[in-house]
Amino acid sequence: MISIVTIALYKCLFTIARHECLFTIARHEYLFSTALHECLFTTTLHECLFTTTLHECLLITVLHECLFSTTLHECLVSTALHECLLITALHECLFTTALHECLFTTALHECLFTTALHECLLSTILLECLFSTAVHGCLFTTVLH
């Protein structure tokens, strides 16, 4: 993008320099005119050429400014688009990270819940075992008496 802008700028500067050169040549021709009629004719002709050249120069300058402005806007739009894509990618990355953290936390909670459940079942079995032992001990004691 920047190379296009540079080229457009150089073209504009070259065109302006060329038109200034034409204007200088026209002015020198006028100064070297000796006859009054030639001078008047040359002056009229040169004024016409100068006006035409000036209008062409202004037109080309406006055109180049328009192209430069368009290129600059395209560059800014392109930059904004890249920034937008970068921000979108960043948000997707953050969202994915958050999702992974959420899944990891859920898995951790499930693991802790399962462990707690197993401990609860183990405690229940242990209590049932102790209760059975106590009942058996009681029955055994009763039988002995």
pLDDT attached to residue 95: 79
* Positions in the chain short of pLDDT 70: 1-2, 26-43, 45-46, 48-50, 66, 75, 145
Instruction: State pTM to two decimals.
Output: 0.30
pLDDT attached to residue 37: 54
User: CB burial class (10 A; 0-12, 13-18, 19+) of residue 110?
Assistant: exposed
Side-chain half-sphere CA neighbours of 81 within 13 A:
6
Q: Crossing angle for the helix pair 36-144 and 2-32, nearest 10 degrees?
A: 170
pLDDT attached to residue 42: 56
